[in-house]
Amino acid sequence: MSPSKPRKITIFDTTLRDGEQSPGCSMNLKEKLEVAQALVDLGVDVIEAGFPITSVGDFEAVRQIANTVSGATICGLARCREQDIDRAWEALKYGKDTRIHVFLATSAIHREFKLRMDKAEIIRRAVEGVKRAKSYCDNIEFSPEDAARTEHDFLCEVVEAAIAAGATTVNIPDTVGYATPTHFAQVIHMLVNRVPNIDQAVISVHCHNDLGLAVANSLAAVENGAGQIECTINGLGERAGNCSLEEAVMALKTRSDYYQAETTINTQRLVPTSRLVSNITGMVVQRNKAIVGRNAFAHEAGIHQDGMLKEPTTYEIMRPEDVGFTKTDLVLGKHSGRAALADRSRALGYHLSDEQLDAVFVDFKKLADKKKEIYDGDIAALIEQRNTEI
């Protein structure tokens, strides 16, 4: 039997909107245009360029990105309010490929304390918002904010009404990162099975990372029928951030055997794009961050380094080149073994006999106990020192 064709998962990047909402991550117009172009080069399908009603700067960024950046759908965010939607369209209207994203909170907590609206009012405003956006543009996304904490019956009702009003994508946000993978999988499964017109829209997910589960929750949703993941470069976003684009994409790619899904991301652009966003926002990428962190393909333990030198797949499930690193980094330190030292010495141009290597290895271990990392210059010095003695 031939394997089934992988399902295409739309990658919706919100670095320029939710990502920019990370405290201290504001970007100016020139920087936003640069990031938008990098996202196109990376191969994302949709760029959420901003929230035009929030400021003149945000409006202008969405307008210029929509007018000048091609190769992805450009999206602007709006609450379910006339002024918001009109302003979003004002920013998007000269773009070739655009989407309006309208949202309204649906959970009991938000209804009662933030919006002071009952369920009927929420449905009415959601429908009005989607219809107004639809009067401008065919491509409409609707998000019931805080969907993960919304009563299931009501969530089904809102989603069905939004699709009937013209939403082409329904996005299910876990706004406060409250969901767990099994819980979120059930929410998506429930919507797929209970909303009668669900096949007229793409199901999207937008997961926050408050419990460190945004990527896991997004993947659980994909397994249950979600066709779009909302994510950001380096997982930037409100509070603990959003689903990290690089992690979700590489999980789908590395485990395509399991997910039977694919994206159009040019994965070799992941590291350069991560670095660009980090430099622009000033948000440092933690060293051990999966996929794009400096340590993601670095090995220090002797047993691991020996395995890597014999066959990289012993300790690496992805090739560093596939995400945009130049090569695996065998970090020499106190956990490293003789094989890694021999390999580095050869790379530095020293051809040591077994006896010479043994002697240098003794010195190397002594030095490694005093230093966190041994650099090429240290190794050269150890060898030179021994050469004069041997």
x/- mask, ligand KIV, residues 140-159, rule CB under 6 A, reads ---x-x--------------
Nearest to 77 by CA among 39, 50, 97: 50
Residue number, 208 or 269, with CB nearest to ligand KIV: 208
d(CA 53, CA 245): 26
- The residues near 353 (Cβ < 8 Å, ≥ 6 apart) are none
Nearest to 70 by CA among 93, 50, 51, 96: 96
CB 107, min distance to ligand KIV, A: 10
Residue number, 18 or 146, with CB nearest to Zn ion: 18
- Which partner in ligand KIV, Zn ion, none is near 145 (CB below 5 to 8 A by kind)? ligand KIV
**CB of 140 closer than 8 Å to CB of 162:** no
CA distances in angstroms from 266 to 45, 146, 175, 236, 237, listed in the order given: 12, 32, 28, 20, 22
335 known member of a binding site: no
x/- mask, ligand KIV, residues 285-314, rule CB under 6 A, reads ------------------------------
d(CA 191, CA 78): 24
The correct pick among 73, 175, 209, 305 for binding ligand KIV (CB under 6 A) is 175
CB 274, min distance to ligand KIV, A: 21
Number of residues that bind ligand KIV (CB under 6 A): 9
Part in contact with ligand KIV (CB under 6 A); list of ranges 92-100, 170-178, 193-201, 327-335 = 170-178
d(CA 381, CA 388): 11
d(CA 368, CA 178): 44
Binding-site sequence positions = 18, 206, 208, 242
Binding-site sequence positions for Mn(2+) = 18, 206, 208, 242
Binding site for Zn ion (CB under 5 A): 18
Binding site for ligand KIV (CB under 6 A): 18, 103, 143, 145, 171, 173, 175, 206, 208
